[in-house]
Chain A
């Protein structure tokens, strides 16, 4: 079955540590995205990538980093510079069309808690 996988489902981090969230898709999509979700705030875009080896900052990129070395993978690193990292993180992908038909599909999410 085609889809998007995220791991781990739950992640605990001590203050000052960097952690990496995994996102893999086998939909053959060019575009991938990372969102952060906080209660009552909807989804906020962290980073996005349209093609391999290229990515752009979203609305709240500070304290985060990404890489896109393979089409299928788009890992997100939450660095110690992120002041309030406790949140639910969602990865998504889309074909990457420039017109309005582009539809985003989501992974199951990773819940990060800072201890």
Chain B
């Protein structure tokens, strides 16, 4: 069975500090990996996705994620947090149509 684990339901950082949101997946074969962001009372917006090729993936708003097969991880990072980054972030894996699995989400709080 597929599963996605996001460590930390809440993460708090200061403005300008590094953002690190953790995601691990369980799969014998590397799936496609995604990060979504959700602002309050809005839908999920695709931040970035890993398909094949380069393991460091750059997304929107300065975020990036690195696929590490040996660690079955796909952590999301941003060098310098901005107040506008405060939102909930979801990691997801895909094995195809109707095989899309979401993590439970991590709420990012950015302190001034």
Contacts and interface: CB of A to CB of B under 8 A. Distances in A.
A1 interface: no
Chain A, interface residues (CB within 8 Å), range: 20 to 34
B100 A104 contact: yes
Contact of A100 (B41, B96, B102): B96
Contact of B105 (A42, A94, A97, A109): A42
Interface of B: 9, 31-32, 34, 36, 41-46, 49, 51, 90, 92, 94-100, 102-105
Given A88-B41, A100-B32, 17 more contacts: A4-B43, A40-B9, A42-B90, A43-B44, A97-B96, A97-B97, A101-B51, A102-B96, A104-B92, A104-B94, A105-B46, A106-B45, A108-B42, A108-B43, A109-B41, A109-B43, A111-B41
